[in-house]
Structure 1
Amino acid sequence: MINAGVATEWGVDPADVHAELLRRAYEVNVFGVVTVTRAAIPLLRRSAAARVVNTASPLGSLTLMTDPASPVSQSSLLAYNSSKAALNALTVMYANVLRPDGILVNAANPGLVATDLNGFTAGATTDGLTVRTPERGAEVPVRLALLGPDGPTGRFFGDDEFAVAGTVPW
């Protein structure tokens, strides 16, 4: 099971982000994940190789948000960033709760992927990041979905400039 997300406030100054924009982002990025995961838990518990992969973002990393040298600290997406930080907490909580059942729960950073949010501009450069094809963006989530029974759980993985040895900081 792989979950994704939305951004609701492109071009809005963080000081002008109102609660409704936060609600829309949280509805998909947080409450949607809780709803789908909760509904899937009975099926996941019956599976021999259950995996939950949440599509996270370095923009939700508290470590990177608080590092003045990181470009993440310059991001102005209040609703998106805070909802992805909440998703990171959900990932850790579900990993802890579902670990005894052998269910692995991890977060994946697919990188900046060509989607309708950026006009499907694979290969272009945005804010110094190269926009990946969907196939390239799927590599980390698919790898996590296929982990063996002794694989890690409760971790945040990626393979772009925000990752160190394949791990993105929480």
Structure 2
Amino acid sequence: MIGALRVTNAVLPMLRRSAAPRIVMMSSGVGSLTRQTTPGADTGPISGAYSPSKTFLNALVVQYAKELAGTNVLINAACPGYVATDLNGFRGVRTPEQGAAVAIRLATLPDDGPTGGFFEDAGVVPW
């Protein structure tokens, strides 16, 4: 998570000069405290590191959105779904292209688009 913080801080001066600055943090539905605490919700295996790191990333998005309020910088978190990657031994049911769709949508939002949110293909992910 320190990496996300450091990279964001490093690029913010350039983004502030951009015509349409967007920050999209790649999160996961397992970072949703609402989903984690909903009885019967399938959030995958219990993880002492991955899930809390995504919850932290989501909180970081909220803090940046507050800091950047009133600017043209939009920041959001994206959940790509269960994408087949090295991380899961390519067991995911989605292709990288399918997983990237939500990030592309958030990266190309209009200036009056949402900021400080958490989104997946189906819409808003509950915090």
Superposed pair shares fold, TM > 0.5 = yes
Aligned to 2:61: 91
Give how far 1:121 is off.
4.5
Of 31, 47, 55 in structure 2, the residue corresponding to residue 60 of structure 1 is 31
Bigger relative CO (Cα 8 Å, ≥ 6 apart): 2
Is there any run of 5+ residues in structure 2 with no aligned partner, and where? none
The separation in 2 between residues aligned to 1:32 and 1:137, in whole angstroms, is 22
Q: Match for residue 157 of structure 1?
A: 119
Q: How far apart in 2 are the matches of 1:121 and 1:66?
A: 25
The C-alpha deviation readout for 1:60-84, integer Å capped at 9, x for no partner, is: 1110111112112x63111111111
Q: How large is the RMSD of aligned CA atoms in angstroms? A: 1.3
Equivalents in 2 of 1:147, 1:112: separation in Å? Answer: 23
Which string of whole-angstrom CA distances, capped at 9 and with x for unpartnered residues, describes residues 100-127 of structure 1? 22100000000111111233346xxxxx
Alignment-mate amino acid for residue 102 of structure 2: V
User: For the residues of structure 1 that align with 2:36 and 2:104, how far apart are their CA atoms?
Assistant: 27
Given the alignment of the two structures, is residue 44 of structure 1 paired with residue 24 of structure 2, yes or no?
no
Q: How many residues align?
A: 127
Name the residue aligned to 2:109: 147
Q: Residue 133 of structure 1: which of 68, 82, 95 is its match?
A: 95
Shift of 1:96: 1.2
CA distance in 1, matches of 2:82, 2:45: 14
Larger Rg computed on CA atoms: 1
Mind listing any 5+ residue stretches in structure 1 that lack a counterpart?
Answer: 1-29, 123-130
Aligned residue type for 1:84: K
Q: Return the TM-score normalized by structure 2.
A: 0.94
**SS of residue in 1 equivalent to 2:70:** helix
Amino acid at match of 1:43: M
Measured in 1, the distance between the counterparts of 2:88 and 2:30 equals 16
Amino acid at match of 1:100: G
TM-score (norm 1): 0.71
C-alpha distance in structure 2 between counterparts of 1:119 and 1:44, whole Å = 35
- Aligned residue in 2 for 1:31: 2
